[in-house]
Structure 1
């Protein structure tokens, strides 16, 4: 049974399925809503060629179009799409803008859904929105909400968002509900620290971990006071790298001891984790200290294991931020200009898919993306080998 998610215009969106077959074969059944009169280019070939171009470092539409034109004979050979023809620079953005988000989600789900479901069932998932900064129409900010597994960094699901940052709250709630992610372990940033979102996850039977900041001033002050008392358990770890030593101490408290406002009564608040980070820089000789507060509806019978698990999840939420950083730095997402919102979101979804393919091809789940892209550029046969390995070809 596939899991669905609603988009911002309430269209059902199939995100997670259970089948697995070669992606290029599944593209043969890709839904093409275009008028058949005058069609010259296959949408399946467009999607395949876009992934190839992305994995050799092309990000802008012009660069992608030139790659397809320059490599057309080679692309025909490795994809088996012998009637593929080069796409013009003028036509490529129109084709991308006309791609159907739902159909693209379905075909990815059909091929990779089973492994995604397995990740969701065993890992924490961090969810956050990312604005497509290259969209040119003012007042129509396009964004994609990403749900990323903490350990493997796989982008397990996405949803579309249109509007300012405030609209992310309701889109996120719909996204979590329709994908069924609210039944699992979800980490969110402080923007989503509100009773309705937390109650939704609690009532669905899931676990949440959400940072609390000044957007909830009364509850934050209660947490600060509670954090000054004796903890139920604590854990500490140290990191060394890039000329810094970082010490993290996590302390666990029982939120049920607080006299919470009525609006929090259905949120299932049980645990407060106070995370104190001290960072010493060898070059500067200075130490910085910061304290952050995290709320959860999880409280296990073994308090030390509880604080260890939540502290690990707090660090793991960085994975979604890391993915966003990779999209900007390695795949140049923020600098790609688009006139059409759907085009921007489709390109964002395909970049996420390309990044997933890289992660699936790595035994450790992470790698030097830039080095891999350069290797693919220099050794095209390596790219083909990797795409066969991950069931793309």
Structure 2
């Protein structure tokens, strides 16, 4: 799947395949490397058979090669490929409801001088904890607005969406149902007006769960 990503490098900069370099970066990060220097060092400590399994035909490159790749790579292209890969590993099973959570998190260590930290909105598979999809939140957009864009990139049929009260929006809930999915949104005491509105719909006399008394009983 990585090989399907178009190579944006010039012909003179292709000593190694782009797919091999991306595979090395991903494996390095999964193994605990936190920078290009650590990725290069980790990979060179592996056996040549492992290099070949990633697609390298010669000794892997040094730090600068990985840095140049990451600076020029469009993250949206890589995320799309990883999302397809994750969906293949965690497919929806007919007749089985598969739950996924939507949540936003600020990445630690990303605060820059005169800037803001990176905030990601993610869809997480309940069963495995795997990331099904994510996007970087613009500083001017609320989570529930960005949620629509993220949900439209996913197959929702046969899935149950869970989230906190910020996602309790008519637009989101309606879209999930129309796409063949279900939702379970948690509303707590920190949003008293919304909670009161929801609870009132289940009180006697208003809720469809409580039948009105028959004329004979009255």
Q: How does 1:30-41 map to 2 (within 5 A)?
A: 30-41=5-16
CA distance in 2, matches of 1:133, 1:168: 18
Shift, 1:126, TM fit: 0.9
- How many residue pairs are counted as aligned between the two chains? 207
Q: How does 1:19-38 map to 2 (within 5 A)?
A: 26-38=1-13
CA distance in 2, matches of 1:152, 1:80: 28
Q: How does 1:258-269 map to 2 (within 5 A)?
A: none
**Per-residue deviation, residues 329-351 of structure 1 (Å, max 9, x unmatched):** xxxxxxxxxxxxxxxxxxxxxxx
Matching residue of 1:73: 48
Q: How does 1:198-213 map to 2 (within 5 A)?
A: 198-213=173-188
Matching residue of 1:95: 69
RMSD between superposed Cα atoms in Å: 3.5
Matching residue of 2:162: 187
Matching residue of 1:148: 124
CA distance in 1, matches of 2:174, 2:206: 17
- Residue 45 and residue 258 in structure 1: after superposition, are their counterparts in 2 closer, same or farther (change >3 A)? farther
- Give the TM-score taking structure 2 as reference length: 0.73
Matching residue of 2:134: 158
For the 8 Å contact 1:182–1:200, the answer to whether it is kept is no
CA distance in 2, matches of 1:66, 1:258: 66
- Give the TM-score taking structure 1 as reference length: 0.44
CA distance in 1, matches of 2:53, 2:130: 26
CA distance in 1, matches of 2:149, 2:204: 28
SS of the residue aligned with 2:58? coil
Higher helix share: 1
- Residue 60 and residue 53 in structure 1: after superposition, are their counterparts in 2 closer, same or farther (change >3 A)? same
SS of the residue aligned with 1:85? coil
Give the alignment partner of residue 92 of structure 2, picking from 115, 118, 122: 118
Q: Which has the higher contact order (CA 8 A, sep 6+)?
A: 1
CA distance in 1, matches of 2:185, 2:128: 20
For the 8 Å contact 1:147–1:158, the answer to whether it is kept is yes
CA distance in 2, matches of 1:258, 1:97: 58
Shift, 1:148, TM fit: 1.7
CA distance in 1, matches of 2:115, 2:144: 18
SS of the residue aligned with 1:54? helix
Higher strand share: 1
SS of the residue aligned with 2:6? coil
**Per-residue deviation, residues 213-233 of structure 1 (Å, max 9, x unmatched):** 466432323456x5xxxxxxx
Give the alignment partner of residue 78 of structure 2, picking from 67, 79, 104: 104
SS of the residue aligned with 1:97? helix
Rg larger for: 2
CA distance in 2, matches of 1:203, 1:147: 19
CA distance in 1, matches of 2:26, 2:194: 46
